[in-house]
Amino acid sequence: MAQLDNLFPALPPGKYNGFTVYVRNGKAITRRSKNDRGNPSKTLVQSSARLRWNNVQRLWGAFPKEWKPRYQNRSIGSTNYNTFMSLNMHSTPIYLTKTEVKNYASVLVPLVVSHGILKEIAVANDGLGLASDVSVGTLTVDGNTTLGQLSKAIVENNRDYCSGDQLTFVVGKQTMEGDVPRAWFDCYTIEINPLSKQPLADAIGTSDGFEVRNGVLASHVFSGAATWVHSRPAAEGEMSVSTQRLWCENAELISRYTSPEALKRAADTYSKAKTEMLTPNPSEIETASKI
């Protein structure tokens, strides 16, 4: 069984001019060093470690309550939220100013949205949009296609899928409201049921993540972020999931918020006396992480 820490880097060891950063039970912790007199570090290194928390925190909140990122094999006492923050905090650092954070700004980055024992779904841009490696054989989709027909095609052409499994299409969208970047996620889930007579259009709603192109599940997503997640009910209410990182096409906005200039701009907006960071509501986090 794959171990979480072997696939994705942990936080770096922590002495940053008066502070120590480390991970305990999947949660990033910052502790003042013993010889520090209580003055927060003023270096950009320390500011970077603190500021990058904000965007990842906002992106967690951008997922709907119906589907939040899921991780198997979490450390004892760790939640899905803790693991999400630990895995994604250092992958693509985004530096938001104090005002942007207060205005709920967020920038899409290639997040790790699931980690588990099921086979990863490979995704790539095929020139017409995003395509997966989930084969559907010779199936074509039109207005008369049922969920049962799609389910049967998936089960017959992919040995890793069976009836009762779920497929979720996760799509992230990026907009600018004035000077404030905003991101949000829509998640569409189908349950694989070869006997279902339900029209596919009713099962997927407004999602285009269950189209068929060149014999595989595909989408017309060209920008933003997206992937498919394979899930399977497991014991004690848990879900087995595939390991998925979002495909992300948001290079222009990422470059604007991840540069050294962006780090300095963001750091300068915080008081030198005290760096104000987001303080999550533990009850909301605990509830969300169990969805």
Profile the chain (291 residues) by mean pLDDT over runs of 10 residues.
Answer: 37 49 65 53 60 92 96 88 92 92 95 97 96 97 96 98 97 95 97 98 95 97 97 86 97 94 89 50 42 37
In a domain, 283, yes or no: no
Domain assignment of residue 2, yes or no: no
Q: Is residue 1 part of a domain?
A: no
| 103 occurs within a structural domain | yes
Look at residue 29 and give its three-state secondary structure: strand
Question: Does residue 11 belong to any structural domain of this protein?
Answer: no
* 290 is a domain residue: no
Contact (CB, 8 A) for 244 and 112: yes
Residue 253 located in a structural domain? yes
Does this model's pTM top 0.95? no
Domain encompassing residue 236: 16-34+42-278
